[in-house]
A and B are shown apart, each in its own frame.
Chain A
Amino acid sequence: MIGEVLQIAWEGVSRNKLRSLLTMLGVIIGVAAVIIMVAVSAGTEATIADRIETLGTNLLFVSQAFSAAGPGARQPGGSSNDLTYDDALAIRSSVKNITGVLVERNSTLAVKAGNVSSDGVTVVGTTIDYPEIRGLTVAQGRFLTQKDLDNTAKVAVLGYSLAQDLFGEENPVGQKITVGTVKLYVMGVMEEKGVVANTDYDARMYVPISLMFEKFTPAMFARFAGNMVNTITVQVENQEVMDGVITQIEILLAKRHDATMEDLPFTVRTQQEIIDTQAATTESFRSLLAWVAAVSLVVGGIGIMNIMLVSVTERTREIGIRQATGATPGDIRWQFLTEALMLSLTGGLLGVVGGVGGSWLFNQLGSMRTVLVPNSILLAFGSAAAVGIFFGFYPANKAAQLDPIEALRHE
């Protein structure tokens, strides 16, 4: 019986090949879209994770917690909530199992070289182990030295694209630039790095942290901003001691800022947490895409329903003949449901082929990294089947309810 049901359904589907194909197109596109979109966002996620890992390994990031009081607010005890350069020095001298500490303080300023100028450049005040800890290399010249820091030297190291913007083909090393109102000498240029976790490493420049404190802190803030920093990055010996180091840092900071461990005004985050945060944004993007694709699947299902309704009308007489020769309403229902399922499953299968092929092609063309997510294939194919049953049921039922005599009289 099953063989016969399948054969009859196949005859129904193959009778109108072009129409069946067009009907399936909705499902094909829907399924392929689900698979490709999920693969693209999974690829993006993987890329983010890879990139973040290239920014050094075993890192901890200490930064100001977002609190109602905000930065600069005073604790009742009178101590400051600000993360300071002195905190970094304290961490370096008293926390065990760490291999490096660096600070960052950012400022956005206009930069000029000759008559070329660039507005809104991120100027990063930092310390000498920055390239080593963040996995960056110097392409030309040198990075900042301890002497630069001690002497508050008026020097800068440029990011790759910033150097190109300002100097074009010229060698920037040894040239003079104006940052804000201060004239600096370019000591080096970093190698190309790209955008990682929303930061364009090539468009920034680096200056000694001491110079940042002295020259690039607006006078009116200097009084209480003091030697405040944005982040302290701590490199830990290995993954195993990570938790211990976090606790040490938290205890130290709590003591230095008269806070309890519970309402510490700072957060200490691992690299993995940053990856997870980034991934969370693409994950919500991914489910949005999946929903969009799911809608197209439903549209495909409506297409199937539409064609099945047309088919039931066209084949009313056939239905009558089958009923007259012994087909029960159940037989007729199965026949049309099988047909709808055949359309949606064939469409689903072609969609899987298209989706997997499309993802592969995106990868090959190098335009987009894609990672196939097996669950998305199952989900998409399963949805196609569900769509077939759901949208096939109404037309199949309609066919089953036909009165044999009226069906036989139908022209």
Chain B
Amino acid sequence: MTADAVTDTPETIIEVNEMTKVYKMGDVQVVALDGISLHIRAGEFVAIMGPSGSGKSTLMNILGCLDRPTKGSYCLAGQDISRMNRSQLAHIRGKKIGFIFQSYNLLPQATALQNVLLPMVYRRNGRISQKERQTLARSTLAAVGLTDREKHRPKEMSGGQQQRMAIARALINDPALILADEPTGNLDSRSGKEIMEILHSLHERGRTIVMITHDAENAGHAQRVIHLRDGRVAQESVQSTAIPVEG
């Protein structure tokens, strides 16, 4: 939770090499990722941009261990993901990754507190008591500005509040990596700003964040912007405007 994680030589958290993803639809093959290579260090805030269909979400899903590459390798915090089975991937998702979706993906019948606690249900290592969990979930909700909303269900909240609930859920297991696929895509500009401020402060406190966005202003929060086109990295730029985290 502190900037301690960032040292003079930050460890590599994402290492993607010559990764290809091909979708087969009958006879037609769609090459969504075409031999992409990436290198992201701990504590970085990276934005991914690119036209629709360029493979951003496909890349994100593989980075988030929701999907596997067709070819190539992906190492997350030193672990090779490409050869893991479904159960192992699920463990990694629960332990190391916090996913923030454009459409929130909250359980509609569950309260804010229950939604935030969800990743804890499936956590295998370092399980803590019900009481400790509740305390942790409350403080996490408080950290995203939802102090009095723990009993509310998603339907009873605004889009911005729902996305903040989703961020709290992504944070609860203290993941090594936070992935956000167009987190402000469904929000008005004011709520979108609030979300970006939260992500910004998370980065300031040492979190590694990879975010897909169409919005140049949002991308301005990132240290590095990767532009994709046709499943390849078209352009990479380091931003001076971003708050420098590394030496």
Q: What per-residue 1/0 map shows which CB atoms of B147-182 lie under 8 Å from chain A?
A: 000000000000000000000010001000000000
Q: What per-residue 1/0 map shows which CB atoms of B105-116 lie under 8 Å from chain A?
A: 111010000000
**A322-B118, A326-B93 known; A404 vs B66 contact (CB < 8 Å):** yes
Cα A321 to Cα B64 with chains together (Å): 13
Q: What per-residue 1/0 map shows which CB atoms of A308-327 lie under 8 Å from chain B?
A: 00000000011011111111
- Of A132-140, A328-336, A370-378, which binds chain B? A328-336
Cα A333 to Cα B66 with chains together (Å): 18
**A321-B118, A326-B119, A331-B122 known; A408 vs B90 contact (CB < 8 Å):** no
Cα A4 to Cα B64 with chains together (Å): 25
B residues within 8 A CB of A331? Answer: 90, 122
Flag whether B95 is at the interface (Cβ < 8 A). yes
Write the chain B residue with the least CB distance to A323: B90
Is the pair B122, A408 in contact by a Cβ cutoff of 8 Å? no
Is the pair A328, B87 in contact by a Cβ cutoff of 8 Å? yes
Task: Tell me the smallest distance from the CB of B75 to a CB of chain A, in Å.
Answer: 20
Is the pair A328, B107 in contact by a Cβ cutoff of 8 Å? no
Task: Tell me the smallest distance from the CB of A157 to a CB of chain B, in Å.
Answer: 79
Cα A320 to Cα B64 with chains together (Å): 13
B residues within 8 A CB of A408? Answer: 66, 101, 105
**A321-B105, A326-B123, A327-B122 known; A405 vs B66 contact (CB < 8 Å):** yes
Is the pair A325, B118 in contact by a Cβ cutoff of 8 Å? yes
Flag whether A165 is at the interface (Cβ < 8 A). no
* From A4, A325, A328, residue with most partner B Cβ within 10 Å: A325
Q: What per-residue 1/0 map shows which CB atoms of B66-105 lie under 8 Å from chain A?
A: 1100000000000000000011001101110001010001
Is the pair B86, A329 in contact by a Cβ cutoff of 8 Å? yes
Flag whether A15 is at the interface (Cβ < 8 A). yes
Is the pair A326, B122 in contact by a Cβ cutoff of 8 Å? yes
Is the pair B90, A328 in contact by a Cβ cutoff of 8 Å? yes
**A321-B105, A326-B93 known; A4 vs B121 contact (CB < 8 Å):** yes
B residues within 8 A CB of A324? Answer: 64, 66, 93, 99, 105
Write the chain A residue with the least CB distance to B64: A324
Is the pair B101, A330 in contact by a Cβ cutoff of 8 Å? no
Flag whether B61 is at the interface (Cβ < 8 A). yes
Task: Tell me the smallest distance from the CB of A98 to a CB of chain B, in Å.
Answer: 79
Task: Tell me the smallest distance from the CB of A94 to a CB of chain B, in Å.
Answer: 86
Is the pair B95, A321 in contact by a Cβ cutoff of 8 Å? no
Cα A323 to Cα B90 with chains together (Å): 7
B residues within 8 A CB of A320? Answer: 105
Flag whether A11 is at the interface (Cβ < 8 A). yes
Write the chain B residue with the least CB distance to A324: B99
Is the pair A325, B109 in contact by a Cβ cutoff of 8 Å? no
Write the chain B residue with the least CB distance to A326: B94
A residues within 8 A CB of B95? Answer: 326
Interface residues on B, range: 20 to 34
Cα A327 to Cα B91 with chains together (Å): 8
Is the pair A321, B61 in contact by a Cβ cutoff of 8 Å? no
Q: What per-residue 1/0 map shows which CB atoms of A386-411 lie under 8 Å from chain B?
A: 00000000000000000011001000
Q: What per-residue 1/0 map shows which CB atoms of A327-347 lie under 8 Å from chain B?
A: 111110000000000000000
Task: Tell me the smallest distance from the CB of A408 to a CB of chain B, in Å.
Answer: 6
Is the pair B169, A328 in contact by a Cβ cutoff of 8 Å? no
Is the pair A405, B93 in contact by a Cβ cutoff of 8 Å? no
A residues within 8 A CB of B173? Answer: 326
**A15-B109, A325-B94, A330-B87 known; A405 vs B122 contact (CB < 8 Å):** no
Cα A324 to Cα B122 with chains together (Å): 10
A residues within 8 A CB of B61? Answer: 405
Cα A327 to Cα B119 with chains together (Å): 8
A residues within 8 A CB of B91? Answer: 326, 328
Is the pair A325, B169 in contact by a Cβ cutoff of 8 Å? yes
Cα A317 to Cα B94 with chains together (Å): 17
Cα A324 to Cα B96 with chains together (Å): 12
Task: Tell me the smallest distance from the CB of B96 to a CB of chain A, in Å.
Answer: 10
Cα A175 to Cα B94 with chains together (Å): 99
Is the pair A326, B90 in contact by a Cβ cutoff of 8 Å? yes
A residues within 8 A CB of B67? Answer: 404-405
Write the chain A residue with the least CB distance to B57: A405
Is the pair A328, B105 in contact by a Cβ cutoff of 8 Å? no
Interface residues of A in 1-57 (CB under 8 A from B): 4, 8, 11, 15
B residues within 8 A CB of A327? Answer: 90, 94, 121-122
* From A11, A320, A327, residue with most partner B Cβ within 10 Å: A327
B residues within 8 A CB of A318? Answer: 107
Cα A8 to Cα B114 with chains together (Å): 11
A residues within 8 A CB of B93? Answer: 323-326
* From A4, A320, A404, A408, residue with most partner B Cβ within 10 Å: A404
Cα A302 to Cα B95 with chains together (Å): 38
Q: What per-residue 1/0 map shows which CB atoms of A98-131 lie under 8 Å from chain B?
A: 0000000000000000000000000000000000
Cα A90 to Cα B67 with chains together (Å): 96
**A329-B87, A329-B90 known; A321 vs B66 contact (CB < 8 Å):** no
Is the pair A322, B122 in contact by a Cβ cutoff of 8 Å? yes
Write the chain B residue with the least CB distance to A403: B67
Cα A298 to Cα B45 with chains together (Å): 57
Interface residues of A in 76-96 (CB under 8 A from B): none
A-B contact pairs, 14 of them (CB 8 A): A320-B105, A321-B105, A321-B107, A322-B122, A323-B66, A323-B93, A324-B99, A325-B169, A326-B90, A327-B94, A328-B91, A331-B122, A405-B66, A405-B67
